[in-house]
Amino acid sequence: MAAPEESVVHGSKAPGKAEAKDLPAVDRLLRLPAVAALIETQGHRLVADEARALLESLRPRVLAAELAREALAPEALAAALEARVQARLASRMRAVLNLTGTVIHTNLGRALLADSALQQLLTMMAGPNNLEYDLATGGRGDRDDLIEGLLCELTGAEAATVVNNNAAAVLLSIAALAAAHPGGREVIVSRGELVEIGGAFRMPDVMASAGATLVEVGTTNRTHARDYAGAINARTAMLMKVHTSNYQVQGFTAAVDEATLAPIAHEHGLPLVSDLGSGALVDLAQWGLPREPMPQEMLAAGVDVVTFSGDKLLGGPQAGLIVGRRDYIQRIRKFPMKRALRMSKLPLAALEATLRLYLRPDRLTRDLPTLRLLTRPLAEIEAQAQRLQPALAQALAPHYTVAVAPMLGQIGSGSLPVERLPSAGLTVAPVGVGKRGLGTALERLSVALRGLPLPVIGRIAEDRLWLDCRCLDQEAAFLAQLGPLSEALQG
Ligand SMILES: *Cc1c(COP(=O)(O)O)cnc(C)c1O
């Protein structure tokens, strides 16, 4: 039985071109043996929807006599349909190769989880767990209990709690300790520390949304102890230090360190809160890396509450860690906003496993991917670049040349913005395009690299594409894609 459109609709009659009467009805397309097999695995609903959409997308092209008759052959239609179904099912979130040279790259998902954290995630998510259940008493538990002891042990804090991310930790700490303060809501911060982390996270705005009143003291480059002391009055609720994690003020500068500020705060019965941003739990200087302030040092210097991120230098999942004095942590934990910002069981499982790795500090550069990448020996990175150079050069010839080059990477995510990490990798330069064709040729190459099954992300600078090898763990996967890369650039 012919579908009505097959007998009624007539397309233009161009030789070799498909006509409207060649377009099958949806039902007929679904009955093709290849399509029946597709329905068997993917189900009728999705395949039928895509079959309808495929035919609709073909119709105008058929009417415009753009399509060869072969494009409507059963095998061609079945293949096109399968491709559409696969594309619908393909995840938008994709694994990529980070060859940007920035180890903790916020846009590329920040810290990579350790194997033990991945294992723990899988095990804990596969079934029920004791997230809020006390196995000793058989009664209700608190999810904070799963990691509080460990965090206290690692930082020397009296108490600890965790929330969704560090932005939440800062917001919650200010709201609970300052905005909810009966005397007044003023929070004193140095003008040199009013950071913008990115997006809408700007210290003055965070203060406002937390319901606190920002009191700026000092100047952009210099703030003294007397500036803080002079600003304290009956309405003051707390003093705050913010780590200037993504910029540095240089030259004629002065800042008040935590050890100096803590007694000033305590004299007036006020808490001193420090937002560390990244916050390393181990001293990075032991591996020749630039130093990053540590929460345990801040607490030892007299800071009452320290907040830091889970997925920056700590090397874990997205999380906001809050450690400090028991009474203040208790107020933070009991504040209603905490419930809205609480951590989910997924990152919590991964965070606990990550923190446990710190119990073996001398194994961290092996077990914690972030530290392993940051401490990768330069000679090893150079050797890798040397190994990859001939293969990439061959894949990109004759349109591009490839050279091994020293390069400077960075830790990333606002950690130590000025310090660079000596690294090595490959630079790719277009051949024979002249000054004016350079941009287009480089753009074409980075588009092709991003279009690979495992997208490769580099960066363009100084008329070259730079591929930093520091974070290239999957060397075989990179090499396996050179054939497809070469093809993509021919097309
Ligand atoms: C990164 C950072 C934040 C925000 O932390 P997230 O974990 O990204 O929410 C806040 N303060 C400082 C100083 C930071 O560096």
Q: In the chain, what percentage of residues exceed pLDDT 90? A: 86
Same-domain check for residues 310 and 404: no
Same-domain check for residues 203 and 338: yes
Residue tagged 């009013």 (tokens): 194
Residue 418 confidence (pLDDT): 67
- pLDDT tens figures, 430-446: 999 988 899 999 999 99
The residue whose CA is least distant from atom 3 of ligand 1 is 277
**Mean pLDDT computed over 363-388:** 98
- pLDDT tens figures, 18-71: 998 889 999 999 999 999 999 999 999 999 999 999 999 999 999 999 999 999
For residue 93, report the phi and psi dihedrals to the nearest 5 degrees: -85, 125
- Count CB neighbours of 211 within 10 A: 14
Site to probe by mutation for ligand 1, drawn from 110, 201, 314 as the one with most ligand atoms within 8 Å of Cβ, is 201
**Mean pLDDT computed over 346-350:** 97
Atom number in ligand 1 closest to CA 319: 7
The residue whose CA is least distant from atom 15 of ligand 1 is 277
For residue 138, report the phi and psi dihedrals to the nearest 5 degrees: 80, 10
| Sequence letter at residue 85 | V
User: Is residue 416 in contact with ligand 1, taking CB distance under 6 Å?
Assistant: no
Residue 4 confidence (pLDDT): 45
Same-domain check for residues 350 and 378: no
Residue tagged 């594309």 (tokens): 87
Same-domain check for residues 66 and 165: no
Residue 430 confidence (pLDDT): 97
Instruction: Look over the chain and give the mean of its residue pLDDT values, rounded to a whole number.
Output: 93
Same-domain check for residues 334 and 416: no
Residue 3 confidence (pLDDT): 44
Residue 1 confidence (pLDDT): 41
Residue 415 confidence (pLDDT): 61
Atom number in ligand 1 closest to CA 169: 9
The residue whose CA is least distant from atom 13 of ligand 1 is 277
Residue 196 confidence (pLDDT): 85
Burial 143-182 (b: 16+ CB within 10 A, else e): bbebbbebbbebbebbbbbbbbbbbbbbbbbbbbbbbbbe
Evaluate if residue 7 carries a pLDDT over 60.
Answer: no
Same-domain check for residues 386 and 408: yes
Give me ligand 1 centre to Cα 261, in Å.
Answer: 22
User: Is residue 331 in contact with ligand 1, taking CB distance under 6 Å?
Assistant: no
Give me ligand 1 centre to Cα 320, in Å.
Answer: 9
> What CATH number is attached to the domain comprising 400?
3.90.1150.180
Same-domain check for residues 404 and 336: no
Last residue of a domain, one of 319, 349, 367: 367
User: Is residue 485 in contact with ligand 1, taking CB distance under 6 Å?
Assistant: no
Same-domain check for residues 447 and 352: no
Same-domain check for residues 382 and 332: no
Residue 332 domain-assigned (yes or no): yes
Last residue of a domain, one of 367, 386, 401: 367
Give me ligand 1 centre to Cα 243, in Å.
Answer: 9
For residue 430, report the phi and psi dihedrals to the nearest 5 degrees: -65, 150
Closest CA to 185 of 193, 176, 194: 176
Give the number of domains in the chain.
3
Closest CA to 415 of 289, 287, 250: 289
Distance CA 34, CA 79 (A): 8
| Token duo for residue 488 | 């993509």
User: Is residue 84 in contact with ligand 1, taking CB distance under 6 Å?
Assistant: no
The residue whose CA is least distant from atom 5 of ligand 1 is 166
Give me ligand 1 centre to Cα 295, in Å.
Answer: 14
> What CATH number is attached to the domain comprising 139?
3.40.640.10
Residue 11 domain-assigned (yes or no): no
Evaluate if residue 417 carries a pLDDT over 70.
Answer: no
pTM of the entire predicted model: 0.91
User: Is residue 167 in contact with ligand 1, taking CB distance under 6 Å?
Assistant: yes
Site to probe by mutation for ligand 1, drawn from 197, 206, 240 as the one with most ligand atoms within 8 Å of Cβ, is 197
The residue whose CA is least distant from atom 14 of ligand 1 is 277
Give me ligand 1 centre to Cα 197, in Å.
Answer: 6
**Mean pLDDT computed over 171-192:** 92
Residue 13 domain-assigned (yes or no): no
Residue 12 domain-assigned (yes or no): no
Residue 184 confidence (pLDDT): 87
Q: In the chain, what percentage of residues exceed pLDDT 70? A: 96
Evaluate if residue 249 carries a pLDDT over 90.
Answer: no
Evaluate if residue 405 carries a pLDDT over 70.
Answer: yes
Atom number in ligand 1 closest to CA 278: 15
Same-domain check for residues 395 and 351: no
- pLDDT tens figures, 281-291: 999 999 999 88
User: Is residue 411 in contact with ligand 1, taking CB distance under 6 Å?
Assistant: no
Residue 186 domain-assigned (yes or no): yes
The torsion of the CA quartet 359, 361, 363, 366, rounded to 10 degrees, works out to 110
Residue 15 domain-assigned (yes or no): no
**Mean pLDDT computed over 109-130:** 97
Residue 13 binned pLDDT confidence (cut-offs 50, 70, 90): low
Same-domain check for residues 300 and 325: yes
Residue 176 domain-assigned (yes or no): yes
Residue 5 domain-assigned (yes or no): no
User: Is residue 170 in contact with ligand 1, taking CB distance under 6 Å?
Assistant: yes
Give me ligand 1 centre to Cα 24, in Å.
Answer: 57
Evaluate if residue 268 carries a pLDDT over 90.
Answer: yes
Give me ligand 1 centre to Cα 121, in Å.
Answer: 24
Last residue of a domain, one of 328, 344, 367: 367
User: Is residue 277 in contact with ligand 1, taking CB distance under 6 Å?
Assistant: yes
| Sequence letter at residue 449 | L
Atom number in ligand 1 closest to CA 246: 15
- pLDDT tens figures, 299-346: 999 999 999 999 999 999 999 999 999 999 999 999 999 999 999 999
Evaluate if residue 473 carries a pLDDT over 60.
Answer: yes
Same-domain check for residues 420 and 351: no
Domain coverage including residue 147: 115-367
Burial 316-355 (b: 16+ CB within 10 A, else e): bbbbbbbbbbeebbebbbebebbeebbbeeebbbbbbbbb
Residue 414 confidence (pLDDT): 65
User: Is residue 414 in contact with ligand 1, taking CB distance under 6 Å?
Assistant: yes
User: Is residue 242 in contact with ligand 1, taking CB distance under 6 Å?
Assistant: yes
